[in-house]
Amino acid sequence: MDTIQTTPVAEAQQEETFSYSGYHSIISGVNPDWEYGGFPLPDGSFWRYREPNAAVIVEAERLRVRVGQITRFNNQVQILDNAKNMFFSTKKFETPDEGEMSVEWEMTARCTGTRPRDLYDGFVSVNLLDFRTGTALDFFVCNDVIATVYARLPFPGVPEPQDPENAVRPKYFSDFNELPIETKPGQLHRYRISYSK
Protein backbone atom coordinates (compact mmCIF):
# COMPACT_ATOMS: atom_id res chain seq x y z
CA MET A 1 0.00 0.00 0.00
CA ASP A 2 1.65 3.22 -1.05
CA THR A 3 -0.29 6.23 0.05
CA ILE A 4 -3.22 7.10 2.22
CA GLN A 5 -4.58 10.60 1.81
CA THR A 6 -7.07 12.50 3.90
CA THR A 7 -8.45 15.58 2.17
CA PRO A 8 -10.91 17.79 4.08
CA VAL A 9 -12.92 20.19 1.96
CA ALA A 10 -12.63 23.59 3.55
CA GLU A 11 -11.67 27.16 2.69
CA ALA A 12 -8.03 26.39 3.38
CA GLN A 13 -7.81 22.87 2.05
CA GLN A 14 -5.50 20.65 4.06
CA GLU A 15 -4.04 17.43 2.82
CA GLU A 16 -2.13 14.81 4.74
CA THR A 17 -0.22 12.21 2.76
CA PHE A 18 1.82 9.38 4.19
CA SER A 19 3.13 5.98 3.22
CA TYR A 20 1.76 2.90 4.98
CA SER A 21 3.48 -0.38 4.33
CA GLY A 22 5.38 -2.15 7.12
CA TYR A 23 5.03 -5.53 5.41
CA HIS A 24 8.05 -6.95 7.27
CA SER A 25 5.86 -7.08 10.38
CA ILE A 26 3.72 -9.77 8.72
CA ILE A 27 6.72 -12.08 8.97
CA SER A 28 8.30 -10.84 12.21
CA GLY A 29 5.09 -10.19 14.17
CA VAL A 30 6.88 -7.27 15.84
CA ASN A 31 4.83 -4.05 16.06
CA PRO A 32 2.56 -5.32 13.28
CA ASP A 33 1.16 -2.92 10.70
CA TRP A 34 -0.69 -5.85 9.07
CA GLU A 35 -2.30 -9.04 10.33
CA TYR A 36 -4.25 -11.86 8.77
CA GLY A 37 -7.81 -10.66 8.31
CA GLY A 38 -10.77 -12.54 9.66
CA PHE A 39 -13.94 -12.46 11.69
CA PRO A 40 -15.19 -13.85 15.02
CA LEU A 41 -17.84 -16.52 14.60
CA PRO A 42 -21.03 -17.04 16.66
CA ASP A 43 -19.56 -20.18 18.27
CA GLY A 44 -16.67 -18.14 19.72
CA SER A 45 -14.06 -19.33 17.21
CA PHE A 46 -12.30 -17.04 14.72
CA TRP A 47 -12.07 -17.48 10.94
CA ARG A 48 -8.74 -16.26 9.62
CA TYR A 49 -8.14 -15.60 5.92
CA ARG A 50 -4.89 -17.56 5.86
CA GLU A 51 -4.01 -20.05 3.15
CA PRO A 52 -1.59 -22.46 4.91
CA ASN A 53 0.48 -23.07 1.77
CA ALA A 54 0.87 -19.40 0.78
CA ALA A 55 4.41 -18.06 0.48
CA VAL A 56 4.57 -14.47 1.76
CA ILE A 57 7.48 -12.56 0.23
CA VAL A 58 8.50 -9.08 1.40
CA GLU A 59 11.02 -7.09 -0.63
CA ALA A 60 11.57 -3.64 0.92
CA GLU A 61 8.16 -1.91 0.58
CA ARG A 62 6.76 -4.57 -1.75
CA LEU A 63 4.52 -7.49 -0.74
CA ARG A 64 3.96 -10.62 -2.81
CA VAL A 65 1.89 -13.66 -1.96
CA ARG A 66 2.24 -16.86 -3.98
CA VAL A 67 -0.24 -19.69 -3.74
CA GLY A 68 0.25 -22.82 -5.85
CA GLN A 69 -3.09 -24.36 -5.00
CA ILE A 70 -5.88 -23.21 -2.70
CA THR A 71 -6.38 -25.73 0.11
CA ARG A 72 -8.69 -23.98 2.58
CA PHE A 73 -12.42 -23.40 2.22
CA ASN A 74 -15.43 -22.38 4.29
CA ASN A 75 -18.49 -24.22 3.01
CA GLN A 76 -20.85 -22.78 5.63
CA VAL A 77 -20.46 -18.99 5.24
CA GLN A 78 -19.95 -17.61 1.72
CA ILE A 79 -18.27 -14.35 2.77
CA LEU A 80 -15.66 -16.36 4.68
CA ASP A 81 -14.91 -18.47 1.61
CA ASN A 82 -14.41 -15.58 -0.83
CA ALA A 83 -10.95 -14.47 0.27
CA LYS A 84 -8.30 -17.13 0.70
CA ASN A 85 -5.33 -15.14 2.03
CA MET A 86 -6.01 -11.60 3.21
CA PHE A 87 -4.23 -9.05 5.36
CA PHE A 88 -5.98 -6.31 7.34
CA SER A 89 -4.25 -3.12 8.43
CA THR A 90 -3.81 -2.95 12.21
CA LYS A 91 -4.38 0.80 12.01
CA LYS A 92 -7.90 2.14 11.67
CA PHE A 93 -8.26 5.14 9.38
CA GLU A 94 -10.99 7.68 10.11
CA THR A 95 -12.84 9.20 7.20
CA PRO A 96 -13.03 12.98 7.69
CA ASP A 97 -16.44 14.55 8.27
CA GLU A 98 -15.82 16.71 5.21
CA GLY A 99 -13.74 15.64 2.24
CA GLU A 100 -12.44 12.19 1.51
CA MET A 101 -9.82 9.60 2.28
CA SER A 102 -7.87 8.07 -0.61
CA VAL A 103 -5.68 4.99 -0.82
CA GLU A 104 -3.24 4.57 -3.72
CA TRP A 105 -0.95 1.68 -4.63
CA GLU A 106 0.73 -0.12 -7.50
CA MET A 107 -0.07 -3.77 -8.11
CA THR A 108 0.49 -6.61 -10.53
CA ALA A 109 -1.48 -9.85 -10.69
CA ARG A 110 -0.64 -13.21 -12.19
CA CYS A 111 -3.27 -15.92 -11.79
CA THR A 112 -2.11 -19.43 -12.70
CA GLY A 113 -4.52 -22.04 -14.03
CA THR A 114 -7.51 -19.71 -14.27
CA ARG A 115 -9.84 -19.45 -17.25
CA PRO A 116 -9.17 -16.56 -19.68
CA ARG A 117 -11.41 -13.50 -19.19
CA ASP A 118 -12.98 -15.12 -16.09
CA LEU A 119 -12.12 -12.84 -13.19
CA TYR A 120 -14.19 -14.93 -10.79
CA ASP A 121 -12.05 -18.04 -11.31
CA GLY A 122 -9.26 -16.44 -9.26
CA PHE A 123 -8.04 -12.91 -8.60
CA VAL A 124 -5.85 -10.59 -6.55
CA SER A 125 -7.60 -7.76 -4.73
CA VAL A 126 -7.16 -4.73 -2.52
CA ASN A 127 -10.15 -3.88 -0.37
CA LEU A 128 -11.16 -0.75 1.51
CA LEU A 129 -13.59 -2.07 4.13
CA ASP A 130 -15.80 0.01 6.42
CA PHE A 131 -16.80 -2.26 9.30
CA ARG A 132 -19.25 0.32 10.67
CA THR A 133 -21.46 0.10 7.57
CA GLY A 134 -20.42 -3.13 5.83
CA THR A 135 -19.25 -1.14 2.80
CA ALA A 136 -16.49 -2.58 0.61
CA LEU A 137 -14.69 -0.70 -2.18
CA ASP A 138 -12.28 -2.95 -4.04
CA PHE A 139 -10.21 -3.61 -7.11
CA PHE A 140 -10.20 -7.23 -8.33
CA VAL A 141 -7.46 -8.06 -10.84
CA CYS A 142 -6.47 -11.16 -12.79
CA ASN A 143 -4.44 -11.85 -15.91
CA ASP A 144 -6.62 -10.05 -18.43
CA VAL A 145 -9.43 -8.39 -16.42
CA ILE A 146 -9.61 -5.51 -13.93
CA ALA A 147 -12.83 -4.75 -12.05
CA THR A 148 -13.98 -2.27 -9.46
CA VAL A 149 -16.33 -3.58 -6.80
CA TYR A 150 -18.81 -1.59 -4.73
CA ALA A 151 -20.59 -3.67 -2.11
CA ARG A 152 -22.48 -3.74 1.16
CA LEU A 153 -21.82 -7.09 2.76
CA PRO A 154 -23.01 -8.97 5.86
CA PHE A 155 -19.61 -9.00 7.57
CA PRO A 156 -19.81 -11.01 10.81
CA GLY A 157 -20.18 -8.64 13.75
CA VAL A 158 -21.26 -5.63 11.66
CA PRO A 159 -24.75 -4.33 12.49
CA GLU A 160 -27.36 -5.01 9.82
CA PRO A 161 -28.41 -1.95 7.83
CA GLN A 162 -32.00 -0.81 8.14
CA ASP A 163 -34.22 -2.51 5.60
CA PRO A 164 -37.51 -0.63 5.26
CA GLU A 165 -40.46 -2.73 4.14
CA ASN A 166 -40.90 -0.63 1.01
CA ALA A 167 -37.20 -0.61 0.08
CA VAL A 168 -36.44 -0.27 -3.61
CA ARG A 169 -32.80 -1.35 -3.32
CA PRO A 170 -31.25 -4.52 -1.87
CA LYS A 171 -29.97 -4.53 1.69
CA TYR A 172 -26.82 -6.40 0.64
CA PHE A 173 -25.21 -6.22 -2.79
CA SER A 174 -21.98 -6.49 -4.81
CA ASP A 175 -21.64 -4.45 -7.99
CA PHE A 176 -18.73 -5.69 -10.13
CA ASN A 177 -17.71 -3.36 -12.94
CA GLU A 178 -15.26 -5.00 -15.34
CA LEU A 179 -13.27 -2.14 -16.83
CA PRO A 180 -12.51 -1.77 -20.55
CA ILE A 181 -8.76 -1.69 -19.84
CA GLU A 182 -6.27 -3.87 -21.67
CA THR A 183 -4.00 -5.73 -19.29
CA LYS A 184 -1.85 -8.85 -19.25
CA PRO A 185 -0.42 -11.18 -16.59
CA GLY A 186 2.03 -9.36 -14.35
CA GLN A 187 1.36 -5.92 -15.84
CA LEU A 188 1.85 -3.08 -13.35
CA HIS A 189 -1.04 -0.66 -12.81
CA ARG A 190 -1.55 2.19 -10.34
CA TYR A 191 -4.84 2.12 -8.41
CA ARG A 192 -6.72 4.58 -6.21
CA ILE A 193 -9.83 4.27 -4.04
CA SER A 194 -11.42 7.39 -2.54
CA TYR A 195 -14.03 7.25 0.21
CA SER A 196 -16.15 9.92 1.87
CA LYS A 197 -18.95 9.89 4.43
When pLDDT is cut at 50, 70 and 90, the band that residue 197 belongs to is: confident
Confidence of residue 177 (pLDDT cuts 50, 70, 90): very high
Average pLDDT, the chain: 90
The mean pLDDT of 168-172, rounded to a whole number, is 92
pLDDT of residue 9: 43
The per-residue b/e assignment along 37-73, b for 16 or more CB within 10 angstroms, e otherwise, is bbbeeeeeeebebbbeebebebeeeebeeebeeeeee
Q: Which helix (H) or strand (E) holds 173?
A: strand 173-178
Predicted local distance difference test score (pLDDT) of residue 104: 96
Dihedral over alpha carbons 84, 103, 111, 185 (to 10 degrees): 180
Q: Inform me whether the pLDDT recorded for 95 exceeds 60.
A: yes
Please tell me whether the overall predicted TM-score, pTM, comes out greater than 0.75 for this model. Answer: yes
Beta bridge partners of 130: 135
Per-residue model confidence (pLDDT) at position 12: 43
The whole-angstrom separation of Cα 192 and Cα 185 is 20
What percentage of the chain reaches a pLDDT higher than 70? Answer: 93
Mean pLDDT, residues 84-107:
93
pLDDT reported for residue 167: 87
Distances (CA, A) of 92 to 89, 141, 172, 175: 7, 25, 24, 25
Instruction: State the CB neighbour count (10 A cutoff) for residue 16.
Output: 11
In sequence order, what are the residues at sequence separation of 6 or more whose Cβ sits closer than 8 angstroms to the Cβ of residue 22?
31, 32, 33, 34
Residues facing residue 62 across a β-bridge: 59
- Res 10: pLDDT: 44
